[in-house]
């Protein structure tokens, strides 16, 4: 049975895919067995390609849990999109992996938590809000205004 957390993750994934599609990218979700990339994208001319990891929150909006390998994997074509599912409109933070690897916080086990937590905090990536220009696309069509 699908858990609430899986639905949250899928919602974030497809919201990011929709935003990238609006920006004239070809977007393909990866198989569930891919451990790093959730989406593979390219521009219409296949000049620029990216692997995208999506992390989504439905209720806690000041940090995202990530995996231990997050602090080690970086590439100029690997990008994280952190999503907050706000009530009226989702928030997107588009962050290059080289920035994320430097911002991962490691919290050791405590009396109330028996595992190590790896996380990225909003205060450390806030400047990347709606930075869709991280993805280069020379062949892009103008983005339609979705607010009207």
Residue pair 140/88 in contact by the 8 Å Cβ criterion: no
CATH architecture, domain 4-134? 3-Layer(aba) Sandwich (3.40)
Q: What is the pLDDT of residues 113-129, one digit of tens each?
A: 899 999 999 999 999 99
Q: Is the pTM of this model over 0.95?
A: no
Domain limits, the chain: 4-134
Q: What is the pLDDT of residues 72-108, one digit of tens each?
A: 999 999 999 999 998 889 999 999 999 999 999 999 9
Q: Which two tokens stand for residue 61?
A: 């909006």
Backbone angles phi, psi at 47, to 5 degrees: -90, -35
Q: What is the mean pLDDT of residues 58-64?
A: 90
């Amino acid at each position: 049975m699908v858990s609430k957390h899986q639905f949250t993750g899928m919602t974030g994934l497809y919201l990011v895919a929709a935003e990238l599609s609006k920006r004239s990218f070809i977007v393909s979700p990866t198989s569930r067995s891919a451990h790093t990339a959730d989406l593979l994208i390219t521009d219409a001319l296949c000049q620029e390609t990216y692997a995208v990891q999506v992390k989504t929150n439905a209720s806690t909006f000041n940090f995202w849990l990530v995996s231990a390998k997050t602090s080690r994997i970086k590439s100029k074509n690997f990008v994280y999109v952190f999503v907050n599912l706000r009530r009226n409109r989702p928030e997107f933070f588009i962050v290059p992996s080289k920035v994320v690897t430097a911002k991962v916080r490691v919290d050791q086990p405590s009396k109330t938590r028996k595992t190590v937590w790896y996380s990225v905090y909003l205060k450390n990536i806030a400047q990347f809000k709606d930075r869709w220009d991280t993805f280069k696309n020379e062949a892009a069509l103008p983005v339609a205004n979705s607010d009207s």
